[in-house]
Amino acid sequence: MPENLSTETTETTENTETAEAPDIKFTDFGLDGRILAALSDVGYEKPSPIQAATIPALLEGRDVVGLAQTGTGKTAAFAVPALSRMAELADLNGPAKFTQILVLAPTRELALQVAEAFTSYAKHIDNFTVLPVYGGSAYGPQLAGLRRGAQVVVGTPGRVIDHLSKGSLDLSNLQYLVLDEADEMLRMGFAEDVEQILAETPEDKQVALFSATMPGAIRRIAQKYLKNPAEITVKGKTSTGTNTRQRFLQVMGPHKLDAMTRILEVEDFDGIIAFVRTKMATEDLADKLRSRGFQAAAINGDIPQQQRERTIEGLRDGKFDILVATDVAARGLDVERISLVVNYDIPHDTESYVHRIGRTGRAGRSGDAILFITPREKYLLRSIEKATRQPVEQMHLPSSDAVNALRLNKFADRITETIATEDVSVFRDLIANYEDEHNVPAAEIAAALAVMAQNGNPILVKDIPVAPAGQKERAAGRKDGFGSRGPTRTLTEGNATYRIAVGRRQRVMPGSIVGAIANEGGLSSAQIGGIDIRADHTLVELPAELSKDQWRALSKTRIGGELIHLELDKGRKPAGSRGSGDFKKPFKKREGEGGGFRKDRGHDGGFRASEHDAADRKPRHKKSADAGTFQRREKW
């Protein structure tokens, strides 16, 4: 029995009809034997609390409202009793030729997942078809499936309505209707569709509504369409699985990739989802990880549905281990082997964070969540802890020395293994000849070969700074050009120096520059190199080739309320040429405009303050409404 499904974390409300029952077994419910066999096939040992509470009520024929957080086993809670009843009916009357069960789910992914679950629980029942119907896929196979008669239809509300109006779906004999993830369906704007479907189904059907939360709108639907429902709430102690350990790692944007690589080297993991903010960043990070020798794939909303499903299958089957995704693309994803969620980019709001980390710790396994947080984002931790009601511990990357020792050991192991398992005779001769001809010791030759084997990847890592350089270093760095993000006087290959029209005068910070450019230009922060903040402008190292879209987006970008006027830098003026004569102006300007810095500070103070004095803050928000980072973060 998985820990997070155990009754220890269960707390029931007054409405709950069935209290926790520590030792309930699936065999206690009087379920059909074929269903019991299927449950044992999928390896469920005993019912989760929500299952223990809802299965008896549903078997009795009652309407049910079931509230429990994600990952608590709600699918089986409604599928198992429904299938059991249908199987017994079929024994009496012969297999039904019409749709008996309809499940509405918010997304294609969830519809597919629920359909798969039904199929696995119905495995030992003959003549039983489950058909998923969802938008964005061809009607043909769905129509054919419906014509053949599927006893169970799992669909998204929009597509179900389409089929109803086409006459291809007949619900006149429907016996059981499930609204799964009802709150999510509402959030996605399906309320009307759901009501329309409810209204078009027979009076005497049984209805089950499952949801993680119970907003007013859902309560209204329940009151209107469910008959004296048993309301069952299973509350976990936290809104996230208690078996998911949350950690944060303070790391600056440009070092995220290195930090990620290091985590992949030192952490034990099975499957991983890494979340990034933009579609472009999914591909970008997956590419970079692949080029560092990790097996990674990307999914995002632009990738066609079928390909997305294949990718998810690939992860499920262990064809690769790291999935890089946007929030939207990974919604509701249930892949049991995901043992680690990396929040590579911090999510837009706490709700997304909770959803993200809900992708791990599935099926009662323990999970890990790591959040990359830049120094400027650190204040957001409190909101996360509040939302998850669970602490987020600080983690530290192992030192470079530790990683390097590990790498060298691994390399040595590869040598041992190769000698033991591979035929090395061709090379042995070649090396022996080489040693003679060139009079070079074998160790030297082997070392050269080792470098070749690394394929251009250095075997040793360097230290990753965790915070911006201190004041002193920054001052020293300034003299040197690209100070605050490391001494990158020489540009990284493929990069160019750009100039933006905000600088010390606007009191911009490297973080706000990286944030704005990464967000607006859809760049990963790793693509942003050195930043040299001058008096009235800043030099930024970015990819030399920016796409038209990126130029367009960046030309509209503001930092601290000011347009940045991105342009390629034509010859860097010597630092300090603008002189200290400018020195007084920034103060004036700031006073007059409530300049950049104060707005930046608004980030920190603003979120806490906004609960109390939102009105007071509004005008300031408005002014900087076009500063992308700012708007997004407001959601916190």
* CB of 82 or CB of 260, closer to Mg ion: 82
User: Is 367 among the residues that bind ligand ADP (CB under 6 A)?
Assistant: no
72 binds, among Mg ion, ligand ADP, none (CB under 5 to 8 A by kind): ligand ADP
* CB of 363 or CB of 544, closer to ligand ADP: 363
Spatial distance between the Cα atoms of 358 and 338, rounded to a whole number of angstroms: 10
Spatial distance between the Cα atoms of 363 and 44, rounded to a whole number of angstroms: 9
Spatial distance between the Cα atoms of 399 and 395, rounded to a whole number of angstroms: 12
Spatial distance between the Cα atoms of 35 and 46, rounded to a whole number of angstroms: 13
48 binds, among Mg ion, ligand ADP, none (CB under 5 to 8 A by kind): ligand ADP
Q: Which residue has the tokens 């429907």?
A: 174
Kindly indicate which of the ranges 41-49, 192-200, 254-262, 608-616 contains the residues binding ligand ADP, using the contact rule CB under 6 A: 41-49
We find the least distance from the C-beta atom of residue 119 to Mg ion, in angstroms, to be: 16
Q: Find, among 479, 535, 478, the residue nearest to 506 by Cα.
A: 535
User: Is 362 among the residues that bind Mg ion (CB under 5 A)?
Assistant: no
Which run of H or E residues covers position 152?
Answer: strand 152-155
What pairs with residue 298 in β-bridges?
Answer: 324
Residue 9 phi, psi dihedral angles, 5° rounding = -90, 10
Kindly indicate which of the ranges 64-72, 340-348, 535-543, 605-613 contains the residues binding ligand ADP, using the contact rule CB under 6 A: 64-72
Spatial distance between the Cα atoms of 79 and 617, rounded to a whole number of angstroms: 49
Spatial distance between the Cα atoms of 565 and 499, rounded to a whole number of angstroms: 8
* CB of 330 or CB of 554, closer to Mg ion: 330
User: Is 361 among the residues that bind ligand ADP (CB under 6 A)?
Assistant: no
Kindly indicate which of the ranges 43-51, 194-202, 260-268, 304-312 contains the residues binding ligand ADP, using the contact rule CB under 6 A: 43-51
User: Is 359 among the residues that bind ligand ADP (CB under 6 A)?
Assistant: no
We find the least distance from the C-beta atom of residue 199 to ligand ADP, in angstroms, to be: 26
* CB of 333 or CB of 403, closer to Mg ion: 333
Spatial distance between the Cα atoms of 455 and 316, rounded to a whole number of angstroms: 30
Within 65-104, which residues bind ligand ADP (CB under 6 A)?
68, 70-76
What DSSP designation does 304 have?
A: -
Residue 497, classed as helix, strand or coil, is strand
User: Is 2 among the residues that bind ligand ADP (CB under 6 A)?
Assistant: yes
> Which amino acid makes up residue 586?
P
Chain centroid to CA 260: how far? 15
Tokens (6 digits) for 138: 């061809």
What DSSP designation does 132 have?
A: E
Pick the binder of ligand ADP from 4, 16, 48, 525 (CB under 6 A).
48
Q: Across the chain, how many H-helices and E-strands are there? A: 23, 21
497 binds, among Mg ion, ligand ADP, none (CB under 5 to 8 A by kind): none
Pick the binder of ligand ADP from 7, 16, 47, 107 (CB under 6 A).
47
User: Is 486 among the residues that bind ligand ADP (CB under 6 A)?
Assistant: no
* CB of 56 or CB of 364, closer to ligand ADP: 364
Residue 541, classed as helix, strand or coil, is strand
Within 315-334, which residues bind ligand ADP (CB under 6 A)?
334
Tokens (6 digits) for 232: 């069952």
Spatial distance between the Cα atoms of 469 and 486, rounded to a whole number of angstroms: 8
Pick the binder of ligand ADP from 7, 31, 36, 44 (CB under 6 A).
44
* CB of 51 or CB of 300, closer to ligand ADP: 51
Pick the binder of Mg ion from 34, 46, 62, 74 (CB under 5 A).
74
Which run of H or E residues covers position 64?
Answer: strand 64-68
Spatial distance between the Cα atoms of 250 and 232, rounded to a whole number of angstroms: 41
We find the least distance from the C-beta atom of residue 306 to Mg ion, in angstroms, to be: 22
* CB of 183 or CB of 600, closer to ligand ADP: 183
User: Is 159 among the residues that bind Mg ion (CB under 5 A)?
Assistant: no
Spatial distance between the Cα atoms of 516 and 626, rounded to a whole number of angstroms: 10
* CB of 333 or CB of 381, closer to Mg ion: 333
Tokens (6 digits) for 453: 């084997």
User: Is 108 among the residues that bind Mg ion (CB under 5 A)?
Assistant: no
Give the binding-site size for ligand ADP (rule: CB under 6 A). 19
Determine how many CB atoms are found less than 10 A away from the CB of residue 380: 23
* CB of 75 or CB of 525, closer to ligand ADP: 75
* CB of 74 or CB of 108, closer to Mg ion: 74
We find the least distance from the C-beta atom of residue 54 to ligand ADP, in angstroms, to be: 11
> Which amino acid makes up residue 143?
L
We find the least distance from the C-beta atom of residue 613 to ligand ADP, in angstroms, to be: 38
73 binds, among Mg ion, ligand ADP, none (CB under 5 to 8 A by kind): ligand ADP
Is 202 in contact with 177 (CB distance < 8 Å)? no
* CB of 5 or CB of 564, closer to ligand ADP: 5
Which run of H or E residues covers position 519?
Answer: helix 510-521
> Applying CB under 6 A, which residues contact ligand ADP?
2, 5, 44, 47-48, 51, 68, 70-76, 334, 336, 362-364
Chain contacts with Mg ion (rule: CB under 5 A) = 74
